[in-house]
């Protein structure tokens, strides 16, 4: 498939020579990059922490402070978890069909599987 890419991506910005795709930075080879952290936020007491996004920080404390500034400027959270992204393990989306398949044919795990008389109350 031969794909033509439109030149203008975000409104008025031309697309040619405007990437950011190669993995290694050139200008500051001596600078050590801060690791990436995944941020989870509990929006209020009683709710689960939910993934909010990611950010760079030198250590865990900075990650939490930055997360406060980046993700909770409008009281969006009462508790923050920061996990270094390299420590996250994920299931493989390519295996999803086979991986979750056993759940498909076990419909008797759902309450709607059971046909019960109308007169039966409180169940």
Of 69, 87, 66, 68, nearest to 78 (Cα)? 68
The one among 40, 41, 55, 82 contacting other proteins by CB under 8 A:
55
First to last CA, the chain: 56
Q: Which is nearer to other proteins, 14 or 117 (CB)?
A: 14
Stretch that binds other proteins, among 41-49, 92-100, 105-113, 114-122 (CB under 8 A): 92-100
The one among 33, 103, 116, 123 contacting other proteins by CB under 8 A:
33
Integer Cα distance of 26 and 16 in angstroms: 19
Integer Cα distance of 63 and 81 in angstroms: 9
Integer Cα distance of 118 and 75 in angstroms: 47
Integer Cα distance of 20 and 11 in angstroms: 18
Does 89 contact other proteins by CB under 8 A?
Answer: no
CB of 46 to other proteins, least distance (A): 22
Q: Which is nearer to other proteins, 17 or 48 (CB)?
A: 17
The one among 40, 42, 62, 65 contacting other proteins by CB under 8 A:
62
Of 48, 83, 52, 44, nearest to 68 (Cα)? 52
Residues that bind other proteins (CB under 8 A): 1, 3-15, 17-28, 31-34, 36, 53-56, 58-59, 62, 69-70, 73-74, 90, 92-94
């Amino acid at each position: 498939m031969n794909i033509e890419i439109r030149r203008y991506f975000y409104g008025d910005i031309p697309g040619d020579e405007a990437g950011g795709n190669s993995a290694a930075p050139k200008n500051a080879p001596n600078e050590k990059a801060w690791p990436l952290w995944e941020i989870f936020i509990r929006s209020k007491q009683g709710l689960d922490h939910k993934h909010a996004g990611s950010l760079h920080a030198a250590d865990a404390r900075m990650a939490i402070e930055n997360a406060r500034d980046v993700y909770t400027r409008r009281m969006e959270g009462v508790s923050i978890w920061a996990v270094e992204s390299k420590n996250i393990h994920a299931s493989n989306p390519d295996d999803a069909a086979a991986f979750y398949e056993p759940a498909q044919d076990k419909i008797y795990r759902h309450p709607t599987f059971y046909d019960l008389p109308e007169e039966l109350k409180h169940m």
